[in-house]
Structures are given as structure tokens and as C-alpha cells.
Amino acid sequence: MSLVKNISPKTLYEKNLLLLKTIFHHIPALPETKSVSYFNSILTIHNIIKNDLSGTLQIPEPETRVATIGQVFQSLIELEQMIFGETSGQKSNSSVAACLKHTERIIYRLESNQSLCTLL
């Protein structure tokens, strides 16, 4: 076991799959088409969550253009805003490590005992 935390686009994708499992009791099927990158797959996961929160019950088509880490970070901020009505993270550092921490913070807030979700 390594003491150094593995930080990569793949671990960020896996953490976002955990976020999807945290939000949904029955996980929606992800599109079967091969995505261009992990970042595109992460944005697809975020769009599934956003569509569910906005009342749209459809699975979005996967992104065909190459996504950037900045787009993933911005999507996480939008997702947190939709779920909690506020954002708790910084708005300028868009690295894989920052996205991983932000995703973990959202999961922690969802799994905590106190109800932090707001109905808008």
C-alpha cells in the first residue's frame, strides 16, 4: 500500500462514479459508446445528475469533443450549486487534484448525517 495518493484522470472518473452511486439508489445506465476521454465521461456523469435534478429524465449523449479539466471543474461547481444551493470550493484552481478534492467534498456532504440539501 502506498502512502502517496494516486491522482489521475482515471481516479477522478472512478470518484465521480462513486458520486453517481451516492446520489442514485438505482444507477442510470451510462451511454455505451466509447468516450473520447475520462473528462468527457465525467461530464456525461455530471449531465445525468443535472438532468435528474432539473426534472429531465433522459440520458444525455456523451460529449464528442475533447473536454478539458477546466470544464470538469466548472461542472462540479454547477453541480454543487444545484444540489446544495451554494458552493464551498475555490473557483480558480482547476487541476485533477482540485477536482478530486471537490468531488470528495460533495460526496462527504451528501453522506453526512445532517441534511444539507435544499429544495429550490
From the list 82, 83, 75, 91, the residue with the least C-alpha distance to 41 is: 75
Residue 46 · residue 20 · CB < 8 Å: no
Q: Is residue 16 part of a domain?
A: no
Q: Is residue 62 part of a domain?
A: yes
Cα–Cα distance between 84 and 68 in angstroms, integer? 25
Q: Is residue 5 part of a domain?
A: no
Q: Is residue 30 part of a domain?
A: no
Instruction: Give me the domain span that covers residue 73.
Output: 36-120
In this prediction, residue 107 carries a pLDDT of 92
Asked if residue 119 has pLDDT above 60, the reply is: no
Q: For 3-6, which contacts have Cβ atoms below 8 Å and span 24 or more sequence positions?
A: none
Residue 88 · residue 105 · CB < 8 Å: yes
For range 47-70, the mean pLDDT: 76
Q: Is residue 17 part of a domain?
A: no
Sole residue written with cell 432539473 = 54
Please report which helix (H) or strand (E) contains residue 101, including its range.
helix 96-111
Alpha helices in 26-95, H assignment, sequence order: 38-53, 69-84
pLDDT band of residue 4 (cuts 50, 70, 90) is: low
How many domains does the chain fold into?
A: 1
Cα–Cα distance between 7 and 4 in angstroms, integer? 9
Q: Is residue 59 part of a domain?
A: yes
